Amino acid sequence: MKVRYIGTLLIAVLTFFGCDDNTGTLGIDMLPDSDAISAHTTTFDVKTESFFADSVYAKTSTGYIGRFTDRKFGYYEAGFLTQLNCTDNFSLPSVYKVTERDSQGNPTKATGRMAGDSVVSAQLVIYYSKWFGDSLNACRMSVYELDKELEKNRYTNINPEKYFDKQNPKLLGRKAYSAYDASVPDSVRNNTDVSGNPTFYPNLSFPLDKKTFGEDRILKVYREHPEYFKNSDAFIKHVFKGLYAKSDYGDGTILYIDRVDLQMQFRFHYTNDSTGVALQKKDGTDSLYYSMNTIFASTKEVIQANQFSNSKEIEEIAKNEKNWTYIKSPAGIFTQASMPYDEIYKELSQDTLNAIKLTFNNYNETNNYKFSMSAPNNVLLIRKQELKKFFEENKIVDNVTSFTATHNSLATNQYTFRNIARLVTTCINEKQAAKKKAKDEAGATWNEITWEADWKVENEDWNKVLLIPVNVIYDSTSQNQNITGIQNDLQPGYAKLKGGPEGEPLQIEVTYTRFSK
């Protein structure tokens, strides 16, 4: 009888809670007084504080470059370092060569198509499709060649000077620009192909010396050492270690870089399909054409690293604001919450935790600044002690120790985690298991007060969780919105949240059922 009643009760309770997240005590009077289950809701305080994040793990194919100064948080600068990918068993075109002639000396067979063993032109092209800030702001970008191979350091406090000589840099190019290139006519900017896809792709091009770079650094080396081009590792080690792009003028614009291409232009013969012999024009001269090719490009197969640097204001804000907290991206501020696990266990250890809700409320802020930052769209709630491996191991949320929430900007201006009961029970059980083990090992010498003091020192982050701005990636082929990846949010954004060390604490809402005889 008890099992049947409990099953019926739980269905009713879950149905009720699905309609109202603020349910009070539910009295269950269908069971005898001696055998009753009751559902209740109670709250516990959650203290929060801002947590300064000097850097974040940033494994992404997007590069960020520019400088932006916010009236509250000061400036931050972005630059990126990247290697260029060399496809496996890469090859460059071979030079046109006649292999057979007829009795009159006319070519009858030939190989290759390149007209001369030379490069017509070479350039680096940096492509971007989005930006933050003032699209017409005057900026300047400098691109340097790396002297050392990049390490697999994905954190945004990477030091570029470790990989190139600042005192004697190898400057590949420097260019002034604005994010929106007003010199491009609308007919070009709005042009589409037959499928309706845009043909214009905003970019910055940096011409390279065709002789010293195109021929001596690439073409000549390939002819002499094709093994240097057998894969990315060989190419990066022997030919080109990578580049560093930085902003050295302008404030107010951040470009989101999609990729970097090393392009080279060659001259080719039009040739006969069957014999390979060069076709002739009516005047008897060879028929030639020019072709620009992307030879190497930044891709996800090689290392790309973003570097962010913040002004001192952001660290001071994180430390000194006492009546509220912040989340700030990129690589700025998280909100840290101290969860009341001990209090929950003390009061509800004999009950069943059904649902636990935690809400972070945003302050409404007015900002007349044209390019002000908005609240991050997605956030991650995660145990502080699991932060490092979560991003480094490319994990996704398990709804046990990590959860995501979307900003409800239209209705409540909140980040709401509707049920983190599994997080609470996991952490409580973790401590109770450790206590039991220590008690069994200590035997008669067991001292709970001493153990509790030592536990708090050794496990200071046990009850800590962090609220972090993130970018959530979904499976585009699925209708169920399955999450395939979570990355630190690297776009500018912030939210001011209620709480803080001296502010009003947050409330964690616990719904539980109690069985009594």
What is the DSSP code string of 407-452? -BTTTT-EEEE---HHHHHHHHHHHHHHHHHHHHHHGGG--HHHHH
Burial-class residue 346 by CB neighbours within 10 Å (0-12, 13-18, 19+): exposed
Give residue 348's pLDDT: 94
Burial-class residue 171 by CB neighbours within 10 Å (0-12, 13-18, 19+): exposed
Residues present in the chain in total: 517
Q: Are 473 and 380 in contact (CB under 8 A)?
A: no
- Cα distances from 334 to residues 114, 317, 466, in angstroms, run 56, 12, 6
- As a whole number of angstroms, the distance between CA 158 and CA 242 comes to 15
Q: For the ranges 12-16, 160-164, 173-177, 441-445, which has the lowest average pLDDT?
A: 12-16
Q: What is the pLDDT of residues 337-371, one digit of tens each?
A: 999 999 999 999 999 999 999 999 999 876 667 77
Q: What is the pLDDT of residues 254-283, one digit of tens each?
A: 999 999 999 999 999 999 999 999 999 888
The pair of structure tokens assigned to 499 is 């709480």
> Which of these, 404, 398, 418, lies nearest to 488 by C-alpha position?
404
Where do we find the tokens 């060569």?
97
Q: Of residues 408 and 359, which shows the higher confidence score?
A: 359
pLDDT at 220 over 60: yes
The pair of structure tokens assigned to 254 is 């951040």
Q: Of residues 12 and 110, which shows the higher confidence score?
A: 110
- Cα distances from 79 to residues 60, 159, 244, 248, 431, in angstroms, run 14, 10, 7, 10, 43
In this prediction, residue 405 has a pLDDT band, given cuts at 50, 70 and 90, of: very high
* Ramachandran sector of residue 298 (left: φ over 0; alpha: ψ -120 to 50; beta: rest): beta
- As a whole number of angstroms, the distance between CA 277 and CA 349 comes to 87
Cis geometry, peptide bond prior to residue 330 (ω within 30 degrees of 0): yes
- The DSSP call for residue 114 is B
Give residue 517's pLDDT: 58
pLDDT at 29 over 90: no
- Cα distances from 6 to residues 24, 43, 125, 445, 484, in angstroms, run 19, 24, 67, 42, 37
Burial-class residue 120 by CB neighbours within 10 Å (0-12, 13-18, 19+): middle
AA letter at 139: C
Long-range contact pairs involving 459-462 (C-beta distance under 8 Å, separation at least 24): 459/431, 461/383, 461/384, 461/385, 462/341, 462/385, 462/427, 462/430, 462/431
- As a whole number of angstroms, the distance between CA 259 and CA 84 comes to 10
pLDDT at 442 over 80: yes
Mean pLDDT of 14-20: 42
Give residue 284's pLDDT: 81
AA letter at 320: N
**Residues forming a β-bridge with 67:** 77, 253
Where do we find the tokens 């001192």?
312
Give residue 13's pLDDT: 41
Please state the pTM of the whole predicted model. Answer: 0.86
Per-position DSSP letters for 277-306, written without gaps between them: PBPB-TTSSBPEEEEEEEEEE--TTS-EEE
Residue 137, SS3?
Answer: coil
What is the number of other CB atoms lying within 10 angstroms of the CB of residue 295?
21
- As a whole number of angstroms, the distance between CA 42 and CA 357 comes to 11
pLDDT at 7 over 50: no
In SS3 terms, 23-44 reads as: CCCECCCCCCCCCEEEEEEEEE
The pair of structure tokens assigned to 364 is 């409404």
In this prediction, residue 30 has a pLDDT band, given cuts at 50, 70 and 90, of: very low
- As a whole number of angstroms, the distance between CA 113 and CA 272 comes to 10
In this prediction, residue 459 has a pLDDT band, given cuts at 50, 70 and 90, of: very high
pLDDT at 21 over 50: no
String of b and e for 363-392 (b: at least 16 CB within 10 Å)?
Answer: eeeeeeeeeebebbebbbbbbbebbeebbe
- Cα distances from 238 to residues 27, 217, 221, 470, in angstroms, run 76, 10, 9, 37
The pair of structure tokens assigned to 161 is 């000077």
- As a whole number of angstroms, the distance between CA 200 and CA 189 comes to 5
Q: Are 382 and 401 in contact (CB under 8 A)?
A: yes
The pair of structure tokens assigned to 106 is 């006319």
The pair of structure tokens assigned to 367 is 């900002």
AA letter at 492: P
- As a whole number of angstroms, the distance between CA 308 and CA 80 comes to 9
